[in-house]
Amino acid sequence: MTDNIESWLALSMISGIGATRCQKLLRHFGSPQAILGANLNELQHVAGIGEYTARQIVYSRDKLDIQKEIARIKKQKISVVTFSDDNYPANLKSIFDPPIVLYVKGKLLPEDRIAIAVVGTRRPTTYGKMVAEKLSRELAEREVTVVSGLARGIDSSAHKGALSCGGRTIAVLGCGVDICYPPENRALFDEISERGAVVSEFPMGTRPEKINFPLRNRIISGLSLGAVIVEAGHRSGALITAECALEQGREVFAVPGNIFNLGTKGTHSLIKQGAKLVENCEDIVEEIRCLRDVLPVSAPMKSVSEVKLSPEEEKVYNVLSFEPVHIDFISKQSGISINRISPVLMNLEIKGKIRQVAGKMFLRIPEAQ
């Protein structure tokens, strides 16, 4: 690891200066080495820095244990991408306050420029999870990279949808890349690391503190050409991502939901304010010019409607909707005995027509459009 990267790491680890001030310092001094070598008087006369921040830099820079950070990076097989590197994401470089350092577990590729963020609540409905998976899968099938935050709920469904068809996905963390948060997403974290990238601006060992997540959200939208909000209440962090996207000049999309569900109030509010209503992947592709120009009009997807059903399966399938219903209700409405209904439902699952959720509840899987 070069001295140059050590200087970038040292600058990024000085607490309290943030990405915006780092950019001001870089414009003034030209390099991290020059910033770290500047005296108090030189630092405090930079526009937007002042005496307090200058003293913080002088006080902190000599106390940083960069070698310890580098040892942890090497042990975890993390790569470091600095703002001056050729492989620093072009989309992210264009925002007002790009991070000067990215810790990457996995690989960032040039094709990740064609990316869409898919985010939403940590407490989604079954409908919300299905929509997030479906949209993300269809985007990934069109070779669009899906960006999200690895959080519980919609974020996890978005990553899973992209991975389900062998597509690329990027997870942006509000902690160090050596920490999996939430911990139950360990398997998903590892799969994204192998087939995409897990990214953070925070030093190794940084805990997932609440203050980190709004900062994380600007990177999610910054890496992307647009942000899709699937489900979000009035106080959802996904709305921060939408706000960041607007500030960065990105497109904002929102998926409509149940009007009686408080978890859709935020997304409906976005639609009222001008966000594009999304019903399918084409709504996203047609809105973003570079996607429309680069990608095929339709992806080679197999519709589940092509699968043939037996008369019994057809009868059961017609009872189901996109909202979960109990097996007893299905049996009663279809006229098929409870003993016979289970193998019929199993066959429909195998054929990819329906899905079982908790409590012996079943629902249709949306068909590819």
Q: Is the pLDDT of residue 369 over 50?
A: no
In a domain, 65, yes or no: yes
Residue 161, domain extent: 110-294
Coil, strand or helix at 148:
strand
Same domain, 257 and 194: yes
Q: How many domains does the chain have?
A: 3
Regarding whether 312 and 234 lie in a shared domain, the answer is: no
pLDDT number for residue 139: 95
Q: Is it the case that residue 34 has pLDDT exceeding 90? A: yes
Task: Clarify whether residues 119 and 200 are in a common domain.
Answer: yes
Domain end (from 75, 91, 122): 75
Q: What is the mean predicted confidence (pLDDT) over 194-204?
A: 97
> Per the structure block, which two tokens stand in for 264?
């859709």
pTM for this prediction: 0.83
Q: Tell which wins on pLDDT, 311 or 180.
A: 180
Residues 269 and 220 in one domain: yes
Tell me the C-alpha distance between 100 and 12, whole Å: 7
- Considering the domain boundaries, does residue 86 fall inside one? no
240/164 same-domain check: yes
pLDDT of 230-282, one tens digit each?
999 888 889 999 999 999 999 999 999 988 888 899 999 999 999 999 998 99
Is there a single domain that holds both residue 132 and residue 216?
yes
CA distances from 59 to 63, 95, 246, 256, 364 (A): 7, 29, 37, 51, 60
Q: What is the CATH number of the domain that holds 266?
A: 3.40.50.450
Residue 329 contacts residue 363 (beta carbons within 8 Å): no
* Residue ending a domain, choose from 245, 262, 294: 294
Considering the domain architecture, whether residues 27 and 124 belong to the same structural domain is answered as: no
Q: Is the preceding peptide bond at 182 cis, omega within 30 degrees of 0?
A: yes
